[in-house]
Amino acid sequence: MTTAPSIPTLPIIDSPIHPALTNVSLPSFVDEHELPSREGSRVIQFREALREAMSEEMRRDPRIFLMGEEVAQYNGAYKVSQGMLDEFGPQRIIDSPISENGFAGLGIGAAMYGLRPIIEFMSWSFSLVAADQILNNAPKMLYMSGGQWGCPIVFRGNNGAGGQLGSTHSWCVEALYSNVPGLKIAIPSCPYDAKGLLKTAIRDPDPVFFLESERMLGDKAHVPEEEYYIPFGRAALRREGSDCTIVSFGRPVNFCLEAAAELANEGISVDVLDMRTVRPLDSAAIVRSIQKTGRVVVVDQCWPFASVASEVITQVVEKCFDYLDHQPLRVNTDDVPTPYAKTLEQEYLPHKRKIIEAVRSAVGKA
C-alpha cells in the first residue's frame, strides 16, 4: 500500500551527524482513502496491533530495539510484547532495571548515535520520574545542537485511567507534555490506528510519545495484515453529521461514537473527529468541520485547565470564530485527582452522558 522506505544495514551508520535525518527516508504518506480498508477477514486485539507494528519494523530495521520493565521474559506487563523476545532475542528485547529515568536517558543516548529505541513505560504515570530526560533532553537535543543531533525515539505505554488504579497511576499526560515543542504525541483510539500510527512513530525522525490505554488493549477490530503508515497530523472523520462537531482523541473517541449513535436517535447528527495525534494537531480538519456545523464540543480525558481541549478551543476561536453559532464547549474529566473508587472513577471520566448533554446544549436542545 504505502511504499516501504529503504533502511540501511547497521554497519553503514558510523557518523553522528544527522543519524536520524540522513539515513531514513520517511514513508510517502497517503490520503485517508488510500489506506487499506478497515474491513477484512482478520480481527485482532489492540495489543496485537501494537506488537505487529513493532515486529514489522524490527524485522526490517536492525537498529530498532525495545526496552522497558518486564518487556522481555515476562512478555510485557500488559502482554504487548508477547513472543518478541523469542523472535528478536535478548539483544533487542531488553528487560531493564526499574529506572524510568535510566532507560529514557539511555535510549536518548542510543538514538543520538543512530539506533532507533522504542522505550516502553509500563504506565505513562511513571514517566514523571523521567521528566528531565523526556522533556528536557529528548525534544531539545536537535534544537540545542543547531540541527545536528536528532533524537529518533519512541516512548510508549499506557495512558489514562486504567480502571481503579488510583490517582498516582492514572495519569493522562497529553495536556502536560503537549506544551513542549520538539516532540510529537500520537494517541490512537482503535487497533487499526494503533498499528498504522505506531509504524509511523517508529519511522519518525523526532521523539514521539505514543499514548496507549490499558482499557483498550483488549479491544478487537479488523486490522489489515499488510503494512500501512498513518500520517501524523491528519485527523480521521469517524462519523459524519451536520449539527455539531465533536473533537476527540484516544479512548474517549469511543465514548463519542456511542454518544453520537444515541444523539442520532434524537435527530441530532454529529461529525466525530478523531485527531489521532495532538502534536501535530490537524486544526484544518476541525475548522472544515465547524464551517459546516457551526458548533463544537471537545472531548478530552485530561483535566480541563490548560488541556488539549483548551488549546483546540483557542485555535477554533482564532481560526473560525465567525463560523461559530454557539460558544465552544468541552468535556474533560473533573478537575480533581483521579478517584480510586469504581463509581467515582466512572463518573469522573468524560463519559457518554456528559458528551450527550454537551452536544444537546451546543445545538440548543438541552
Partner 1 sequence: MPKKTAYQAKIEHIQILDEQGKLDAALNKGGLGDEDAVFLYEQMTVSRTYDEIAFKLQRSGRMGTYPQNKGQEAGPGGIGLAVLHRGKKDWLVPCYRENLALFLNGLPMEKILLHWMGDERGNQIPEGVHILPISIPIGTHPLHACGLAFAEKYRKTGRAAVTFFGDGATSEGDFHEACNFASAMKLPVVFFCQNNFWAISVPRAIQTGSETIAQKGLAYGMPCFQIDGNDIFASYKVGKDALELAVEESRPVFIEAITYRLGDHTTADDARRYRDSAELESWQKKDPLIRTRKYLESKKLWNDKKQADLEARAKKLTEEVVRKAEGIEKPGIDDIFDYTFAELNDELRTQKRTLRTASLAQHPEQERLSR
Least separation, in Å, of the C-beta of 111 and partner 1? 7
- Contacts of partner 1 in 33-62 (CB under 8 A): none
Stretch that binds partner 1, among 37-45, 166-174, 177-185, 216-224 (CB under 8 A): 177-185
Compare residues 317 and 336 and give the one whose CB is closer to partner 1. Answer: 317
Least separation, in Å, of the C-beta of 298 and partner 1? 18
Among 110, 134, 211, 244, binds partner 1 (CB under 8 A): 110
The site for partner 1, by CB under 8 A, has a size of 55
Largest alpha-carbon pair distance within the chain?
Answer: 65
DSSP 106: H
Among 2, 23, 81, 96, binds partner 1 (CB under 8 A): 96
Is residue 137 close enough to count as binding partner 1 by CB under 8 A?
A: yes
Least separation, in Å, of the C-beta of 174 and partner 1? 17
Stretch that binds partner 1, among 108-116, 211-219, 242-250, 344-352 (CB under 8 A): 108-116
Least separation, in Å, of the C-beta of 189 and partner 1? 22
Is residue 210 close enough to count as binding partner 1 by CB under 8 A?
A: no
Q: Which residues contact 44 (CB under 8 A, 6 or more apart)?
A: 52, 191, 220, 221, 223
**DSSP for 227-288?**
---PPTT--EEEE--SSEEEEE-STHHHHHHHHHHHHHHTT--EEEEE-SEEES--HHHHHH
Stretch that binds partner 1, among 35-43, 114-122, 165-173, 298-306 (CB under 8 A): 114-122
Measured torsion, CA atoms of residues 307, 309, 313, 315, in degrees rounded to the nearest 10: 70
Q: In 10 A of CB 41, how many CB atoms?
A: 7
Least separation, in Å, of the C-beta of 65 and partner 1? 7
CA pseudo-torsion sign 184, 173, 314, 181: negative
Is residue 267 close enough to count as binding partner 1 by CB under 8 A?
A: no
Is residue 15 close enough to count as binding partner 1 by CB under 8 A?
A: yes
Measured torsion, CA atoms of residues 9, 12, 17, 22, in degrees rounded to the nearest 10: -50
Stretch that binds partner 1, among 37-45, 104-112, 254-262, 350-358 (CB under 8 A): 104-112
Least separation, in Å, of the C-beta of 345 and partner 1? 31
From the candidates 52, 56, 100, 212, give the one annotated as an active-site residue: 100
- Sequence-separated contacts (24+) of 26-30 with Cβ below 8 Å: 26/203, 26/204, 26/205, 27/2, 27/3, 27/200, 27/203, 27/229, 28/2, 28/3, 29/2, 29/200, 29/229, 29/231, 29/234, 30/1, 30/2, 30/231
Least separation, in Å, of the C-beta of 209 and partner 1? 14
Count Cβ neighbours within 10 Å for each residue of 47-73 and write b for 16 or more, e otherwise.
Answer: bbbbbbbbbbbbeebbbbbbbbbbbbe
57 classed as catalytic? no
If you search the block for the grid coordinates 533524537, which residue do you land on? 151
Is residue 132 close enough to count as binding partner 1 by CB under 8 A?
A: yes
CB distance 85 to 93 below 8 Å: yes
Compare residues 74 and 240 and give the one whose CB is closer to partner 1. Answer: 74
100 classed as catalytic? yes
Among 5, 8, 280, 304, binds partner 1 (CB under 8 A): 280
Question: CA-to-CA distance for 276 and 316, rounded, in angstroms?
Answer: 18
Q: Given the rule CB under 8 A, which residues bind partner 1?
A: 10-11, 15-17, 20-21, 65, 91, 94, 96-97, 99, 101-115, 117, 129, 132-133, 136-137, 141-150, 181-182, 184, 205-206, 233, 280, 314-315, 318-319
Q: Which residues have a catalytic role annotated?
A: 100, 169
